[in-house]
Amino acid sequence: MPATPTIAIVGRPNVGKSTLFNRMTGKRTALVSDLPGLTRDRKEGEAEIWGHIARLVDTAGLEEAASGSIAARMRAQTETAIGEADLVLFVIDARAGVTPVDLEFARIVRQSGNKAILVANKCEGSKGTEGFYEAYAMGLGEPVAISAEHGEGMSDLYGDIVETLGLDMEADNENTPDAEAPAEEEDPARPIKVAIVGRPNAGKSTLVNALLGEERMITGPEPGLTRDSVASDLVWAGRNIKLFDTAGLRRKSKVDDAAEKLATSDTIRAIRFAEVVVLLVDAERGIEHQDLTIASMVADEGRALVIAINKWDLIVEKQKRLKELHDTVSERLAQLPGLRVVPLSALGERGLDKLMPEVLGVYDLWNKRISTNDLNRWLREAIDRHAPPATSGRRIKMRYMTQVSARPPTFVVFCSKPDALPDSYVRYLEKSLRTTFGFPGVPIRFNLRKGENPYARD
């Protein structure tokens, strides 16, 4: 391996290769647009990856083309880059899924004999989930889920690059652009990103001020004082936290002011890039439809969630109201069984000592990983207790299970007929998994895929 390895970024047009190139080099030297084909020549740059310097090559989009055409010459340039690289990053658009063109050029990468990492780009939120799992069929091993545009998943990619190239894993990685510590070795100094969200005038800024112990945010009875997401640093029980106070979310039909529309989009963006979301509810109004909509949005985005009931000091029949709140959460947010509900008074600074341990606890669960051996042992026991149903006279076989990622915990079960497995049986497996390994209130991804060996090659 040369002292400065060469890494080629390849894939069909418009999958985000140039965005990834810019992200890894820390410079905006490659043109980025929704228009495919902007990159025609190979563009080179230098990337620092956990203390190691690598030569990075951005290539034109791989596409089938007539001999002698510009597209054909672009493809030839890309194939040359593949041949000269020490490592190939094969990028797909997870939101678009795996296309026939992706499969064809994955074959070219495999036939090159070069080391390759499959990168599933545009995986922010939940829209890229299906394409991520389709990528297993490409024969390039386990994909790495990232969002090059927003920097999500880059630490996982850097870790795979260092491991695949056989570089020193102990090298300094603090200056790597947009890198975070690998999930398996959580950096205790890295702040946990916590967003405080909720309807207008629920007391979000008051809660942030109470946690910080100072009047950092403007507060008052008028709804809508907070217009954008404001970040503040907090240390609680020795752990670093970055708090985001957000504008109040309201129904779209209620949002007509231009500034408030921007504030609403900023709040949604904060949810997507937070790690834990605290949904603040007004105790006097209870959990309303819009609160449930926000909670469902958080779950759909795969973020850890805690519900905080503010202004608790104003409630007279506390036990009765708490039971009503728990019943509402259990019934209306059934996808998050065991969700934490914490009553507090932000203005009176009471209940904060109960809220923050719940935030830290749900964050740890959100990062939790289960070994493949333990998962498959559990799967066999679950099948023994309640066997999957038969279809067309033949019982569905559950063959193998693994956890492909955390944040949120994401699992894949490979079976003979995933489409024929009833939703009721999938719910049985998910409930048993939560109970056995302890995932109360945390969104998990439970996916079924056809096959026996997800890493089979041609």
Residues 10 and 31 in one domain: yes
Does residue 165 sit in the same domain as residue 27?
Answer: yes
Give the integer Cα–Cα distance in Å for 268 and 263: 9
Name the pTM for this structure. Answer: 0.58
HSE-CB at 359 with a 13 A cutoff on CA atoms is: 30
- Could you tell me whether strands 341-343 and 304-310 are parallel, antiparallel, or unpaired per DSSP bridges? parallel
Q: Would strands 276-282 and 239-245 be described as parallel, antiparallel, or unpaired?
A: unpaired
Q: How far is CA 237 from CA 169, 188, 280, 353, 357, in A?
A: 30, 12, 22, 10, 9
Say whether both 100 and 167 belong to one domain: yes
* Residue in the structure block whose two tokens are 């109360």: 440
Same domain as 274, residue 130: no
Task: Give yes or no: residues 428 and 392 share one domain.
Answer: yes
Query: Residue 325: what pLDDT?
Result: 95
CA distances 2 to 42, 165, 167, Å, are 20, 10, 11
Q: 3-class secondary structure for 110-151?
A: HHHCCEEEEEEECCCCCCCHHHHHHHHHHCCCCCEECECCCC
Element (H, E) at 211: helix 204-212
Alpha carbon of 43 to those of 21, 36, 165: distances in Å?
A: 9, 16, 21
The residue segments making up the domain with residue 403 are 372-450
Residue 226 lies in a domain: yes
Q: Say if residue 208 is in the same domain as residue 332.
A: yes
Within-domain flag for 455 = no
- Distance set, CA 235 to CA 176, 212, 241, 270 (Å): 24, 9, 6, 20
> How confident is the model at residue 171, as a pLDDT?
45
Residue 458 lies in a domain: no
Report angle CA 163, 168, 173 to the nearest 5 degrees.
90
| 142 and 56 belong to one structural domain | yes
Instruction: Report the CATH number that the domain containing residue 414 is assigned in CATH.
Output: 3.30.300.20
Whether residue 98 lies inside any domain: the answer is yes
Query: Does residue 386 fall inside a structural domain?
Result: yes
Task: Identify the CATH number of the domain in which residue 177 sits.
Answer: 3.40.50.300
The amino acid sitting at 309 is I
- Domain boundary residue among 167, 185, 203? 185
| Total domain count, the chain | 3
Does one domain contain both 240 and 180?
A: no
Q: Note whether 231 and 251 are same-domain residues.
A: yes
Do residue 160 and residue 281 come from a single domain?
no
- Block residue for tokens 């469902």: 296
Which residue in 402, 149, 365 sits closest to 275, CA to CA? 365
Residue at 443 is within a domain: yes
pLDDT at site 213: 82
Is 457 a domain residue? Answer: no
**Residue 338 shares a structural domain with residue 399:** no
Of the candidates 185, 214, 235, which is a domain's last residue? 185
What would the pLDDT profile of 24-60 be if each residue is shown by its tens digit?
988 654 433 343 443 334 578 888 887 788 999 888 6
Token pair 């780009």 in the structure block, residue: 121
One domain, residues 361 and 255: yes
Select from 144, 165, 185 the last residue of a domain.
185
Q: What is the pLDDT along the chain (458 residues), one digit of tens a residue?
A: 557 899 999 988 889 998 999 889 886 544 333 434 433 345 788 888 877 889 998 886 655 544 444 345 546 666 777 888 899 999 999 998 889 888 888 888 888 888 999 999 998 766 777 788 888 878 888 888 898 888 888 877 888 898 899 876 544 444 333 333 334 445 567 899 999 998 888 888 889 889 988 544 333 443 443 333 457 788 999 999 988 887 655 444 444 444 334 334 556 777 777 899 999 999 999 998 888 888 888 888 889 999 999 999 999 999 999 999 999 999 999 999 999 899 999 999 999 999 999 999 999 999 999 998 999 999 999 999 999 988 777 888 888 888 888 888 989 888 888 888 899 999 999 999 999 999 998 999 888 888 655 444 44
Residue 265 lies in a domain: yes
